[in-house]
Structures are given as structure tokens and as C-alpha cells.
Amino acid sequence: MTVLDSIAGQSPPDAHREGAARAVVESRRTIRRRAEAASGAAVAAGRFAVVAGRFAVVVMGARAPAIALVRGRAGEYVSRMALRFARFLCPRFLCLSLALACTLTIGGAARSAAQLRLETFERDVLAIETEDGSRHRFEVELALTGEQHAQGLMYRRGLADAAGMLFLYGREWPVSMWMKNSFIPLDMLFIAGDGRIVRIVERTVPQSLETISSGRPVTGVLEVNGGTVARLGIQPGDRVLYRAFNGGS
């Protein structure tokens, strides 16, 4: 991961810039110590830095200025030190740096928002028929695409008792699930092409990265609230009644 990007410049890197570049790839403690030292040296040489969130825009070089973006914790340390010497700032370069910092911060926020844009899901109704003939109705969201499969119930803080999510794959194949970014315990029901439940995993651990395998090829997976299987007495061999499965209704 690159943590120091040179944005513009006309002069070759000097010792101060090389020191800052080395600092941002070392441990936190070393980063802090060297970044503070680099900041003090930069200010003494007539250079400066401005901060925008977790970014620091550092302008270096009096005759041929170069602008570097220091991100993350190192950026915070550099900015904190440099701002103590604000009286030395050159107004022309300060305006340029502030403009660049705002542009980078807004751009980064826009990219983060795009990355966190969540999928939406169609809804439908299915039933689970248990061995004693009882039918339990669920209103489910349908995960049909690769993007929807990847997101699943991530980021949810709650789920209604008779709600769930049905993952459909269009054909039988081995499926593996995990609980990354999932905040509620779930029961997972792995479903064969004829609608029979072939495996059940109860009360999965929120945010666990442990792989949960279907154990055999399946056509779908139903996720419901943790504890639902025990409460309703659902067992392997029970059937999910839904049109996507052979014999479903």
C-alpha cells in the first residue's frame, strides 16, 4: 500500500522528503517520531503543511515547490506539528494547498460513498414445511446477483422474526458463506435443488471470518434470525416451498 504520493514537483527529492517517505511505511511509533522530526525540519526550512481530515498536504521547496500528500496517521502527525508554525506560512502556497486538500478530501469521500453503496433486494414469500406437516411462512429478500450474494445481510442491525434472505444460484454447486460485516447471529439453511434442507448451521458468530460450507452442492441458502431453527423445530430433510426449487409452490 502506498501511503505517500508525490503529486507535483520540479526539484529532486531532498533529505527531508526522503525522511518523510521512509517514515510513513514504518511502525506507528517510528512514524510518529520521524514525522514530528521531519515536520520541524521542514518548517525551519521555510516549508509548511496544512491538514484536511486525515490528510496532510505538505508543500516543500522554496524555489521549486513540490506538493506531497501524506495520508493516515502520519498525515495527522505531520499536520499537527506543522500547524504550530502557522506564522511562517506563505499565503500563496497556503491557498494552493488548502484547495488541493479540499479537492482530495471531497474526492476521497465520494469514492468511499460509492464503495459503500448498498444493493437493494426484491422481496417474496416462502414457507418451510417441517416433518409434522407444519408450514412456517417467511418474507424474504432475494439475493440473485453476484453483488447481492457478496453483500447479503451485511451491515444489518436487526431482522424481523419471520424475515430472512434467500440466496439463489440457478444451479447446484458447493457454496461457502461467512459472517464478515454481519452484526446479528444467523441460522443458515442450505437447500438442494428439490427444496430439501441438506444442512443447517445455527447461531453463526457475527463478524466471524470462518468459512461455513454447504458440505455438498446446493441451489440456495436461506438465512434467518439465529434461534429460529430451534424455535420452530426445523431439521435437515424438511422442505422449503418456493418456486425456484423443483416441486416448490
Residue by residue, pLDDT tens for the chain (249 residues) are 333 333 334 444 444 445 444 444 444 555 556 555 554 544 444 443 444 444 444 444 444 344 444 445 545 544 455 445 444 445 554 555 555 554 544 455 444 444 568 999 999 999 999 999 999 999 999 999 999 999 999 999 999 999 999 999 999 999 999 999 999 999 999 999 999 999 999 999 999 999 999 999 999 999 999 999 999 999 999 999 999 998 666
Would you say the pTM of this structure is higher than 0.85? no
Q: Which of 96, 115, 134 is at the close of a domain?
A: 115
127 and 160 fall within a common domain: yes
Cell for 136? 412456517
28 and 82 fall within a common domain: yes
Any domain includes 185: yes
241 and 128 in contact (C-beta within 8 Å)? yes
97 and 138 fall within a common domain: no
Could you list the residue range(s) of the whole structural domain that residue 133 is in?
122-241
Rounded Cα–Cα distance for residues 152 and 93 (Å): 48
50 and 133 fall within a common domain: no
Any domain includes 74: yes
> How many domains, the chain?
2
60 and 105 fall within a common domain: yes
237 and 212 fall within a common domain: yes
The beta strand positions in the chain, using DSSP E, are 4-8, 48-52, 55-60, 66-71, 122-129, 135-143, 163-173, 176-177, 186-191, 197-201, 212-213, 218-225, 239-241
Any domain includes 65: yes
